[in-house]
A and B are shown apart, each in its own frame.
Chain A
């Protein structure tokens, strides 16, 4: 249909209208007669002659009308069409955008894709970090287990390691012979409990199959108030330091099965954080309350402050989690 754009009368003669009008006049035809022959409306013929394309359909139709008109009045259609192509008219090409389907957000949409990629990346990163943490933990556990099993034989062949050590000769130091099983925990404890104590080389240390940490007397004298801990492997009884006063307590764990143990003192220091093999007695001394976590609660006997402690009510599945020495009970 016609578009409601303002008339654009061409008086410059650039358009083909003038030539058509002259040819029509020379043949003595009226607008109506031309319109009748071309099956157009007279206003359309007038618009063609006036180069007024605003009131005519699109360029395809106008070119067709001009071609028919030119042929009818005996003009070559080529120059007429050429002249029309030089007339500036808006919308030379039909606009088809309105039939474009409305854009829907689909999985192909760029933003959706980016969000999906980001989500996948986050999931992969989380999975990777979890895997890394898990494998590191496994390596640590394996290392602990290795250390724990290797000294078992020398410990057995050396029945009196603590006693064999010339404790009195060292101006009454508190010697501590710890198997590597408890060494890590010992180091944790040492770092928290007696930071001033520095390990000193022990004569004949290299001959010892089990590393022995000896604290000098001078150092130990400062740490008399500090908790000490002794771990005795095998069935040997522990030489326990005197119980600490004022919120200190002694915890003895006797394992009948392999068990993961996590014991933390009031400050959150890890007193023990490892798998304790079966048949060991672990004695811990620290500031109460002590947070205890047992991975295999059925395989451990707990003794707290010299009294047996029944952890059965705290067992959930295989594990037990409880606090010892807290005010108002466990």
Chain B
């Protein structure tokens, strides 16, 4: 009853609880929060021996890899699902309060959260429980390919096939949608994080230099490319030399990064081909005519569309503002709950 009462003082939210970033869409306002999914926890030893949240979001991300023994910077989401239930709940609670800053009462909103299409019942239940624990009044789950397709404004209600690829932080999702339902979907755990990892491994193997996740991510964003013949760019990176044990800097170019990313990109292309193989011929014809829509942070990788076009033979359409595409889709589902009630996941 109190939750219902508090609901009057809360704004309904759509959350893209991503491995890399958490985005929140507030009903009637739009996207109000875009922060990294990182939480810094302070472990207090001694008499108190308790854990407390030190920082959440961008502030916590700056602490990644730079923390003393008493502080842990945690990414509570891994491969698109919850890796640390308690910390995820704390993070959600923090974000929900942040978007309800000027409210007198503790917020109790209705929340739409997207989940990877390959997530298990247990993983979905964990996300739902985590949101409920953060104060949600009601929680609706929506699969990421569907949210991405709605966010990209694809004609999902029409009797025509629409194919969407969402390359996120922890997972990449491929989905074929027609008549408001998912005809085929596949989730693979190759995405931004795996690309960063691939860059770290490449630099360590080739140059014996150990770089952090933040550095690898910056390399990927600044000079990373998916196409071999892209314009060559280079940047300086710093890390610890494995043999000498001292900090060193070196210059890496985009061709090397492309080599590092090749394995991940091949995995994504294979998933697209597998999806096309599994798609009914009529829908495959529609997709061949219209093309593949790419969303998610991974779509910002330079010349990804070109590579995919060559690899799949499909027209490739990168959506505008691909980073927010999923949360925009969740937001539209939230705004049009009556119309789009069928797209929610029913357990």
Contacts and interface: CB of A to CB of B under 8 A. Distances in A.
B179 A99 contact: yes
Contact of B289 (A41, A60, A64, A96): A41
A161 interface: no
A95 B315 CA distance: 23
A57 B157 contact: no
Choose among A38, A41, A68, A97 the residue with the greatest number of B CB atoms under 10 Å from its CB.
A68
Given A41-B289, A60-B152, A60-B293, A68 B316 contact: yes
Interface residues of B, number: 33
A164 interface: no
Contact of A61 (B158, B317, B340, B341): B317
Nearest to B336: A96
A63 B320 contact: yes
Contacts, number: 89
Contact of A99 (B154, B160, B314, B342): B342
A61 B339 contact: no
Contacts of B339: 96-97, 99-100
Interface string B314-347: 1111111000000000000000101111110000
Contacts of B18: none
B180 A64 contact: no
B263 interface: no
A58 interface: yes
Interface string B147-180: 0001011111110100000000000000000011
A39 B286 CA distance: 14
B36 interface: no
Interface string A76-98: 00000100000000000111111
Contacts of A99: 156-157, 179-180, 339-340, 342-343
Contact of B309 (A39, A61, A96, A101): A39
Contact of A101 (B153, B316, B342): B342
A93 B179 CA distance: 16
Contacts of A67: 318
B317 A94 contact: no
A23 to B, nearest CB: 18
Q: Which of A58, A63, A67, A94 has the most CB of B within 10 A?
A: A94
B94 to A, nearest CB: 33
B315 A60 contact: no
B315 A64 contact: yes
B252 to A, nearest CB: 25
A47 to B, nearest CB: 12
Interface string A95-121: 111111100000000000000000000
Contacts of B180: 96, 98-99
Interface of A: 1, 38-41, 57-61, 63-65, 67-68, 81, 93-101
Interface of B: 150, 152-158, 160, 179-180, 286, 289-291, 293, 305, 309, 313-320, 336, 338-343
18 contacts: A1-B160, A1-B286, A39-B316, A40-B291, A40-B315, A41-B289, A57-B289, A60-B153, A61-B291, A64-B293, A64-B317, A68-B309, A68-B317, A94-B154, A94-B155, A96-B156, A97-B157, A99-B343
